[in-house]
A and B are shown apart, each in its own frame.
Chain A
Amino acid sequence: MSLTSNFLGSQIPLSDSPYPDNRISFEEHLARLDKVRCSAKPAPSDPAAIKHLERGKLLVHDRIAHLIDPGTSFLEVGQLAGYEVYSEGLRPGAGIVTGIGVVEGHPCMIVANDATVKGGTYFPLTVKKHIRAQQIAFENRLPCIYLVDSGGAFLPLQDQVFPDRDHFGRLFFNQAQMSAAGIPQVAVVLGSCTAGGAYVPAMCDEAIIVRNQGMVFLGGPPLVKAATGEIVTAEELGGGDVHCRISGVTDYLAESDQEALATARRCISSLNNTSITRAPREVSRPPRFDSREINSLIPADPKQHFPMREIIARLVDDSALDEFKANYGTSIICGFARIDGYLVGIVANDGILFSESALKAAHFIQLCDQRNVPLVFLQNIVGFMVGKDYEHKGIAKDGAKMVTAVACARVPKYTVIVGNSYGAGNYAMCGRAYEPRFIWSWPQSRIGVMGPDQAASVVTQVRSESAKSRGEDWGEEQQTRYYQEIHQQYTTQTDALYGSARLWDDGVICPTETRNALSLALSIAPFEPGAQRRSFGTFRM
Chain B
Amino acid sequence: MTNSQNDQQKPRPLNATMNSVESARPVVRRLLIANRGEIARRIIRTCRILDIETVAVYSDIDADAPHVHEATCAEPIGGPMAYLSVEAIVAAAKRTGADSVHPGYGFLSENPALAEALEAAGIVFIGPNAETIRALGSKTNAKIIAANANVPVAPTLLLSGDSPDEHLNKLCDFTSQVGFPVIIKAAAGGGGRGMRVINDLDSAKEALESAARESLKAFGSAEVFIERFIAPARHIEVQIAGDHYGTVVALGTRDCSLQRNNQKIVEEAPALNLKDGVSDELCQAACRLAKEVGYSNLGTVEFLYSDDGLFYFLEVNTRLQVEHPVTELVTGLDLVMLQIEIARGADLRDILKDNLSLDGSLIPSGHAIEARLCAEEYTGKFVTGTGVILDLYVPRGLRESGLIRADLGYEVCSQVSHYYDSLLGKIIVHAPNRDQAIQLLRKGLSEARVSGVGTNRSLLLHLISLDAFRKLLHTVQGTLGLLPSVAQLHDDWIHSHVILAAARLLDQRSEWAKSSPWSDREKVAATNITYPLTTLIHGVTISSESRIEDDGVSVRVMAPYEHEAFVRISALELAAVGLSRYSISLNRSSPKQVSILVDGATTWVHTDSGSLGLRTINARPNRKTDFALSGELVITSPIPGKVVAVNFTVGDSVQEGDLLIVLDSMKMEHPFKAPRSGVLSSINAIKGALVNAGAELARISSAQ
Residues of A within 8 A of B (CB): 62, 64-66, 68-74, 102, 104-107, 254-255, 258-259, 261-263, 265-266, 269, 278, 281, 284, 340-341, 513, 516, 519-520, 523
Contact = CB atoms under 8 A, between A and B. Distances in A.
Nearest to A259: B621
A65 B520 CA distance: 17
Best-surrounded residue of A66, A68, A105 (most CB of chain B within 10 A)? A105
A340 B517 contact: yes
Contacts of B414: none
Contacts of B510: 104-106
B559 interface: no
B518 A72 contact: yes
22 contacts: A64-B529, A65-B531, A66-B532, A68-B529, A71-B504, A71-B507, A71-B508, A72-B518, A73-B520, A73-B523, A102-B513, A102-B519, A105-B513, A107-B516, A107-B518, A254-B621, A255-B623, A262-B619, A265-B619, A265-B620, A340-B517, A523-B517
A70 B518 contact: no
B519 A259 contact: no
Contacts of B507: 70-71
B527 interface: yes
Contact of B513 (A69, A254, A261): A69
Contact of B531 (A71, A105, A255, A269): A71
B529 A281 contact: no
A262 B617 CA distance: 9
Contacts of B531: 65, 70-71
A255 B627 contact: yes
Interface in B584-636: 617-621, 623, 627
B512 interface: yes
A73 B508 CA distance: 12
Given A70-B504, A259-B623, 10 more contacts: A65-B532, A66-B532, A68-B529, A71-B505, A104-B510, A105-B512, A258-B621, A261-B618, A262-B619, A281-B515
A516 B526 contact: yes
Contacts of B532: 62, 65-66, 258
Contact of A70 (B505, B621, B623, B627): B505
B570 interface: no
Contacts of B667: none
Contacts of A106: 510
Interface in B512-567: 512-513, 515-521, 523-524, 526-527, 529-534, 546, 548
A281 B519 CA distance: 14
A74 B515 contact: no
Given A71-B504, A520-B523, A523-B518, A278 B512 contact: yes
B509 interface: yes
A71 B513 CA distance: 10
A513 B524 contact: no
Contacts of A516: 517, 523, 526
A34 B511 CA distance: 34
Contacts of B18: none
Nearest to B515: A281
A73 B620 contact: no
B197 to A, nearest CB: 48
Interface of B: 504-513, 515-521, 523-524, 526-527, 529-534, 546, 548, 617-621, 623, 627
Best-surrounded residue of B515, B524, B618 (most CB of chain A within 10 A)? B618
A262 B627 CA distance: 13
Contacts of B521: 71
A73 B509 contact: no
A72 B513 contact: yes
Nearest to A281: B515
A392 to B, nearest CB: 48
A263 B621 contact: yes
A62 B516 CA distance: 24
A486 B623 CA distance: 63
Contact of A520 (B515, B518, B530): B518
A255 B628 CA distance: 11
B621 A262 contact: yes
A200 B269 CA distance: 73
Contacts of B548: 71
A33 to B, nearest CB: 14
Contacts of B533: 70
Contacts of A65: 529-532
A507 to B, nearest CB: 13
Contacts of A284: 517, 520
Contacts of B517: 73, 281, 284, 340-341, 516, 519-520, 523
A224 B73 CA distance: 77
Nearest to B510: A105
Contacts of B524: 71-73
A519 B523 CA distance: 10
Nearest to A280: B515
B536 to A, nearest CB: 13
Contacts of B515: 281
A523 B517 CA distance: 7
Contacts of A266: 620
A254 B521 CA distance: 32
Best-surrounded residue of B518, B527, B533 (most CB of chain A within 10 A)? B518
Contact of A105 (B508, B621, B623, B627): B508
Contacts of A269: 509
Nearest to A64: B529
Contact of B529 (A74, A254, A265): A74
A340 B529 CA distance: 21
A70 B513 CA distance: 11
Contacts of B627: 255, 259
Contacts of B530: 65
Contacts of A102: 508-509, 513, 516, 518-519
Nearest to A268: B509
Leading 8 A-B pairs by shortest Cβ distance: A105-B510, A71-B505, A105-B509, A70-B531, A519-B517, A262-B621, A523-B516, A105-B513
Best-surrounded residue of B523, B524, B531 (most CB of chain A within 10 A)? B523
A70 B530 CA distance: 9
Contacts of B623: 255, 259
A71 to B, nearest CB: 3
A278 B512 CA distance: 8
Nearest to A523: B516
A72 B526 contact: no
Nearest to A510: B526
A266 B619 CA distance: 9
Nearest to A260: B621
Best-surrounded residue of A73, A341, A513 (most CB of chain B within 10 A)? A73
Contacts of B621: 254, 258-259, 262-263
A258 B618 CA distance: 6
A71 B523 contact: no
Nearest to A258: B618
A519 B515 CA distance: 12
Contacts of A104: 509-510
A103 to B, nearest CB: 9
Nearest to B616: A262
Contacts of A73: 517-520, 523-524, 526-527, 529
Contact of A69 (B509, B511, B620): B509
A534 B694 CA distance: 61
A71 B506 contact: yes
Contacts of A71: 504-508, 519, 521, 524, 531, 548
B520 to A, nearest CB: 8
Best-surrounded residue of A62, A71, A254, A263 (most CB of chain B within 10 A)? A71
B515 to A, nearest CB: 6
Best-surrounded residue of B507, B512, B530, B533 (most CB of chain A within 10 A)? B512
A263 B627 CA distance: 14
Contacts of A255: 623, 627
Nearest to B533: A70
Contacts of B518: 72-73, 102, 107, 520, 523
Nearest to A261: B618
A259 B621 CA distance: 6
